[in-house]
Structure 1
Amino acid sequence: MKPTISLLARLIDTLAPRSCTICGSRLTVTEEVMCACCNQCLPRTGYSKSAFDNRLSRLFWGRIPIEKGAALFFYKAHSDTSRLLYQLKYGGHPELGERLGQIVAAEFAQDGFFDGITAVLPVPLARQRERERGYNQSVEIARGVCEETGLPLLLNALERITFHGSQTQKDRWERNENVDKAFHLLDASAVSNQHILLIDDVITSGATLVAVAKEVLKGNNVKVSVLSLGFANNG
């Protein structure tokens, strides 16, 4: 249930108006991140309604034993909606990740997506990249998901031990090689006997999440599911 808009919130909104991340128009006091029009036009995948079998989930079949998979919207580079991820990753706006995490969690919960999931684990960033950016966008998304669902957030179970540049300009095979053995499970007890939801900002080839999942699955009796904001549907 949304909280009542306070007089202070209305005053702050008047003095410091906020704009839609997608189209730039002014947000009303009840809108967050994007305006109602852009929210309605967001190319949602609808995958939370068929989380066990959809195009994203099938991307991982034969690579890792995945339970469920879903993304909020279809991602296309340089599109209007891609500004959501550009601002989150490169614009210095970690608060976007937390709010988008809340939005996706609220929507997916209606379809029972989180049923059976016991903990949330965001994809770690390399220390160098996190220092440059000032935050890990996947952690911010995960915070929002956990705030909305009440699930525990695992931040110290896994680390990224290698970084060989961004995945953005690499093909599928280069992406696989780039993240092969890039992660290390620090605390097997934290993931053992858990159904872990892995969270990333955008899924393209799935290489990063496959590498993460392989480490997480070293724990005892672990199940994994995946969630992202964007899914680069190139097929």
Structure 2
Amino acid sequence: MAIPINTYINAFQQLFFPHICSGCGADYIHHNAFLCAACNHTLPITHFFERSNNPVEQVFAGRIPLISGGSSFYFYKSGLVQHLIAQLKYKNNLAAGRFLGRCMGRELRQSERFAHIDLLIPLPLHPKKEFQRGYNQARIICEGIMEVWPKKLCTQAVSRLIYTSSQTQGNRLNRWKNMEDAFWASEPNMIKNKNILLIDDVITTGASLEACSRAILQVQGTSISIATAAYTV
């Protein structure tokens, strides 16, 4: 039986231009894949997008009138999802963000709880921090979402006014104090009467997302939903 020429081409590409798994470094994955089958199998999926009153929605209960909320994966210390988010935020691995976004987009597309969404808004970074990093990781995740779930992206309607250091340390009260009045709706006409899905990489206390949501909800006719790639356990 003749061996298809694509087999030779793929073998040649893998030999001279190796394509490796971004999770474990294995070099036996398809040239279009981001993770190998083993790493894909270990991703800690939450199924939150399918469930009302899930842990993400409970974070904001009684604080903001959230329509729907969810995260794709659990975030464990030293786990695969933490590795991918660190690659995105600190190693300029934009492909990791788009991969996480595609995972989110497939779930969001299938969930009736998010069918009402008009616009995606990535949680804004302060201009200084975005300049230092070179990009907003939440926007990169949005780009991945839109590859599989065709929604409009809005990046200019909400701005971040206050520069803060990392929010990974500290309790909810301290984080809320740091974020108070940190956002404002700089172009309210862009989001007036729109159902907004606010996007971020990971949720812990939710202080930043809560503060940004409050700024969005000050605009007439808006509703807010929240989606993140990961939820901290």
Change (3 A) 1:37 1:163: same
Aligned residue runs from structure 1 range 7-18, under 5 A: 12-18=13-19
Aligned residue runs from structure 1 range 184-203, under 5 A: 184-203=184-203
Counterparts of 2:215 and 2:208 in 1: how far apart (Å)? Answer: 11
Counterparts of 2:218 and 2:123 in 1: how far apart (Å)? Answer: 16
Counterparts of 1:10 and 1:185 in 2: how far apart (Å)? Answer: 52
Counterparts of 2:10 and 2:64 in 1: how far apart (Å)? Answer: 46
Counterparts of 2:142 and 2:116 in 1: how far apart (Å)? Answer: 17
Match of 1:41 in 2: 42
Q: Counterpart amino acid of 1:191?
A: I
Listed one character per residue, the Cα deviations across residues 82-141 of structure 1 (whole Å, up to 9, x for unaligned) are 101110111111222123212221133223343111110000111121111111100000
Counterparts of 2:100 and 2:16 in 1: how far apart (Å)? Answer: 24
Listed one character per residue, the Cα deviations across residues 176-203 of structure 1 (whole Å, up to 9, x for unaligned) are 1111111111111111111100000000
Gaps of at least 5 residues in structure 2 are 1-5
Match of 1:26 in 2: 27
Counterparts of 1:141 and 1:180 in 2: how far apart (Å)? Answer: 25
Q: Counterpart amino acid of 1:157?
A: A
Q: Indicate the larger mover: 141-150 or 202-211.
A: 141-150
Instruction: Tell me the TM-score normalised to structure 2 length.
Output: 0.90
Counterparts of 1:46 and 1:94 in 2: how far apart (Å)? Answer: 24
Match of 1:221 in 2: 221
* CA RMSD in angstroms, aligned pairs only: 2.1
Counterparts of 2:202 and 2:194 in 1: how far apart (Å)? Answer: 24
Counterparts of 1:136 and 1:6 in 2: how far apart (Å)? Answer: 38
Change (3 A) 1:216 1:8: farther
Aligned residue runs from structure 1 range 3-152, under 5 A: 12-29=13-30, 32-50=33-51, 52-152=52-152
Q: Indicate the larger mover: 102-111 or 130-139.
A: 102-111
Deviation at 1:6, TM superposition (A): 11
Matched residue of 2:197: which SS? strand
CA contact (8 A) 1:21 1:83 kept: no
Aligned residue runs from structure 1 range 206-217, under 5 A: 206-217=206-217
CA contact (8 A) 2:72 2:103 kept: no
Deviation at 1:10, TM superposition (A): 7.2
Gaps of at least 5 residues in structure 1 are none
Instruction: Tell me the TM-score normalised to structure 1 length.
Output: 0.89
CA contact (8 A) 2:124 2:159 kept: yes
Change (3 A) 1:94 1:8: farther
Change (3 A) 1:10 1:98: farther
Q: Return the index of the structure with the highest Cα Rg.
A: 2
Matched residue of 2:152: which SS? coil
Q: Counterpart amino acid of 1:60?
A: F
CA contact (8 A) 1:185 1:215 kept: yes
Aligned residue runs from structure 1 range 158-169, under 5 A: 158-169=158-169
**Sequence identity (%):** 31
Change (3 A) 1:147 1:81: closer
